[in-house]
Amino acid sequence: MPKTLADGKTKFTLLTTKPADPAAPTETELNAGIDASHKVLKSDFAWTNTASEVISEPALDDEGNTSAPGASNYDLGATFWRYFLETGAADTAGDDAAFQAVKEKGTQLWGYARETSKDSGEPWAATDEIYLGGEIMTDSATKVDATGYVKRRVAFMPQRMHENIVVASGI
């Protein structure tokens, strides 16, 4: 199989209800979630693990430091475009649903991202690889620059994350 260009390949889904098994969400659970793939700015989307904490674990006879990986760390956040009705009210039941799910500080959600050869608009399927997913908590939505579209940046705080997992079949 050839290499795949990354453009348009990241699917990002938010769940407002905890999946039965957060480490193996089903295709039904994920497809019922909020597909935020086309509601989030690509240029500053952050959904990745970062360097783990380092634990110094030298033995008595070691002449230098030796290290072991400690707690995992993550960089999580996204800028959401806002969508409004002609009346000026937020389109809460439509295109603004992704922002509505993340707009309040302390909201508990479950987020999952896929980056494979599939286009981001393709539905989740059993055995799809999820490169990172799990329970997150929102920080306050912050106003970004006043250029372009109306948008808000939301940082996510990892609670229980799962790396390189697979979508389960079933409901």
| Domains of the chain, residue spans | 10-49+73-166
pLDDT tens digits along 93-117? 999 999 999 999 999 999 999 999 9
Task: Say whether pLDDT at 1 is over 80.
Answer: no
Number of Cβ within 10 Å of residue 103's Cβ equals 17
Q: Note the residue count of the chain.
A: 171
For residue 104, the number of C-alpha atoms closer than 13 Å in the C-beta half-sphere is: 8
d(CA 119, CA 108): 27
Is pTM beyond 0.85? Reply is yes
CB-count exposure of residue 50 (10 Å: 0-12, 13-18, 19+): exposed
Q: What is the pLDDT of residues 47-75, one digit of tens each?
A: 999 999 999 988 999 888 899 999 999 99
